[in-house]
């Protein structure tokens, strides 16, 4: 038999019909005061009783003690009672590593928000734009499909440049993947949790953590059991005329090889159908050129289709003595879009006039090795990674060059390289359709050693961090 022990009173049996009746009365008659006639006299109102019951279920022994049978207690309280008072009886604890050591989320003094895997799935989070909707202090500017900028508390750098340093650091597990200009949009598939640390993070995260840090923690290989899952999502266009349909397919396989070694493989591919049409029209401002005369292939429907493909492979060895593990991983992703999602409302709804296609291709690969070892007096973590990213994109510069034409006559036309006219020519107008493309490459090698210890009297972290990063750009105007 399971009992609730009310302070200064005898146990109340869950099988006591009067007690069960009182609970149901509280649920249905919230405005009534129901004195139980025993126990602490301060807890006679329904709201007080609810708060006390909630503390009991959370194992807070201040008012009630639940020695056993929490499941029976849940059954004793009706579903109506739970919904009425918005009680959550879940005892799931989220362990985060935001402070570079494993801690319960509730015990961290700083501002940390962690979204666990179950909540990510319920919210149908698949990319950073979806995730940003769950974090009040976080903003995400996605001006190009598959990439964008992450901001915390409104602290922002330029969201359109390809050379400025990020104001938010992004980590995939223990390794940084922060890049200048545009953050990689990591697909949220088989992710254990995402930790959002708002505000400056100091030396724990260093570079690019002025406004905050995002930590994406994937699920690790599990040696206890084989597991596999497949997720398929289809989204059909409901407008007339129809836009392109969208779909998303992902799969996860966890394979234990032995008692202390397992492999986990994740794969995904998705397509977001285009919905912006490029229609026939004249160049802006002067209107001297028509796009179907210059490049008829650019005029078509659904020019902003986006595709992503990628996967992760992790292998983990657990040390025989249970004092640590070695985790090796490889992650890769390709984001490719046929064009931007911008349109011109003066032309038409979800329509624009462009002379050239604006494709974008973004490839990145990460190799990682994480070693954890309990030394007795401290925990040692070594995190090694190599990150490589290659980006190509093309932009229609026709509109830009047309409105820049005000400066492209007289002496300025001879000395400016941005007038898009033959050398020595200085028209009083500048209606020259064309495009520009950019090749960007980034690579980074990082190594971090970290020692930490937690005790009743003192918590401490000591670490060394090294990073070698190379970035380059080739910019061409046609």
pLDDT at 443: 92
pLDDT at 46: 47
Our CA angle for 383, 385, 386, nearest 5°, is: 170
Nearest residue to 201 via CA among 114, 103, 115, 99: 99
CA 324, distance to chain mean position in Å, is 28
> For residues 396 and 75, what is the distance between their CA atoms, to the nearest angstrom?
64
> What's the Cα-to-Cα distance from 240 to each of 211, 255, 275, 279, rounded to whole Å?
43, 46, 11, 17
pLDDT at 342: 87
pLDDT at 196: 87
Indicate whether 27 pLDDT > 80: no
Indicate whether 263 pLDDT > 50: yes
Percent of the chain with pLDDT over 90: 34
pLDDT at 45: 46
> For residues 311 and 268, what is the distance between their CA atoms, to the nearest angstrom?
6
Indicate whether 282 pLDDT > 70: yes
Reported as a single tens digit per residue, the pLDDT across 187-228 is 999 999 898 888 777 777 767 777 788 889 999 999 999 999
Indicate whether 361 pLDDT > 60: yes
Reported as a single tens digit per residue, the pLDDT across 61-112 is 333 343 344 444 445 554 545 554 454 444 455 665 656 656 665 555 567 7
pLDDT at 363: 94
pLDDT at 212: 84
pLDDT at 72: 47
255 vs 123, more confident: 255
Strand partners, 407: none
pLDDT at 409: 53
Least confident of 63-77, 129-143, 319-333, 425-439: 63-77
Report yes or no: 33 and 42 within 8 Å, Cβ to Cβ. no
Task: Tell me the mean pLDDT in the region 233-246.
Answer: 80
Reported as a single tens digit per residue, the pLDDT across 140-193 is 887 666 667 888 877 766 655 566 677 788 889 888 888 776 778 899 999 998
Burial state string for 154-167 with b = 16 or more CB within 10 A and e = fewer than 16: eeebeeeebeeebb
pLDDT at 70: 42
Reported as a single tens digit per residue, the pLDDT across 33-61 is 333 333 444 444 445 555 555 554 454 33
Instruction: Provide the mean pLDDT of the chain.
Output: 76
pLDDT at 99: 60
pLDDT at 21: 57
Indicate whether 8 pLDDT > 60: no
pLDDT at 16: 46
- Burial (CB < 10 A; 0-12, 13-18, 19+), residue 249, is middle
Percent of the chain with pLDDT over 70: 68
pLDDT at 228: 96
pLDDT at 6: 35
Report yes or no: 190 and 461 within 8 Å, Cβ to Cβ. no
Highest mean pLDDT among 107-111, 143-147, 418-422, 458-462 belongs to 458-462
Task: Tell me the mean pLDDT in the region 269-279.
Answer: 92
Our CA angle for 113, 140, 268, nearest 5°, is: 85
The pLDDT confidence band at residue 422, using thresholds 50, 70 and 90, is: low
Reported as a single tens digit per residue, the pLDDT across 379-390 is 999 999 999 999
pLDDT at 14: 41
């Amino acid at each position: 038999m399971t009992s609730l022990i009310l302070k200064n009173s005898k146990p109340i049996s869950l099988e006591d019909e009067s007690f069960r009746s009182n609970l149901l009365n509280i649920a249905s008659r919230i405005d009534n005061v129901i004195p139980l006639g025993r126990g602490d006299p301060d807890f006679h109102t329904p709201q007080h009783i609810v708060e006390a019951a909630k503390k009991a279920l959370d194992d807070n022994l201040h008012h009630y003690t639940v020695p056993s049978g929490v499941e029976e207690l849940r059954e004793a309280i009706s579903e109506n009672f739970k919904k009425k008072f918005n009680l959550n009886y879940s005892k799931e604890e989220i362990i985060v590593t935001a402070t570079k050591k494993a801690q319960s989320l509730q015990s961290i003094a700083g501002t940390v928000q962690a979204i666990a895997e179950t909540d990510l799935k319920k919210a149908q989070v698949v990319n950073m734009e979806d995730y940003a909707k769950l974090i009040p202090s976080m903003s995400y500017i996605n001006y190009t499909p598959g990439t964008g900028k992450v901001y915390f508390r409104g602290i922002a750098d330029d969201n359109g440049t390809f050379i400025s340093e990020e104001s938010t650091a992004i980590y995939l597990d223990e390794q940084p993947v922060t890049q200048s200009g545009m953050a990689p949009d990591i697909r949220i598939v088989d992710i254990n949790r995402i930790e959002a640390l708002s505000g400056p993070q100091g030396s724990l995260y260093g570079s690019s953590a002025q406004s905050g840090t995002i930590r994406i923690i994937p699920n690790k290989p599990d040696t206890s059991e084989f597991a596999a899952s497949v997720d398929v999502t289809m989204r059909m266009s409901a407008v007339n005329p129809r836009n392109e349909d969208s779909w998303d397919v992902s799969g996860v396989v966890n394979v234990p090889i032995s008692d202390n070694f397992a492999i986990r493989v994740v794969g995904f591919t998705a397509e977001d159908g285009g919905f912006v049409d490029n229609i026939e029209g004249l160049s802006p401002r002067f209107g001297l050129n028509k796009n179907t005369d210059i490049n008829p292939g650019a005029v078509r429907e659904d020019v902003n289709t986006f595709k992503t493909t990628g996967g992760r492979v992790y292998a983990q060895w657990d040390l025989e003595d249970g004092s640590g593990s070695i985790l090796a991983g490889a992650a890769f992703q390709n984001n490719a879009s046929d064009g931007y999602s911008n349109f011109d409302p003066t032309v038409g709804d979800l329509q624009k006039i462009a002379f050239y296609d604006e494709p974008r291709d973004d490839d990145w690969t990460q190799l990682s090795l994480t070693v954890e070892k309990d030394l007795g007096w401290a925990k040692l973590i070594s995190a090694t990674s190599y990150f490589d990213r290659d980006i190509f994109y093309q932009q229609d510069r026709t509109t830009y060059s047309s409105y820049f034409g005000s400066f492209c006559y007289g002496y300025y036309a001879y000395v400016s390289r941005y007038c898009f006219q033959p050398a020595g020519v200085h028209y009083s107008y500048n209606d020259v359709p064309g495009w520009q493309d950019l090749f960007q490459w980034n690579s980074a090698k990082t190594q971090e050693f970290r020692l930490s210890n937690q005790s009743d009297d003192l918590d401490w972290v000591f670490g060394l961090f090294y990073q070698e990063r190379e970035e380059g750009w080739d910019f061409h105007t046609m």
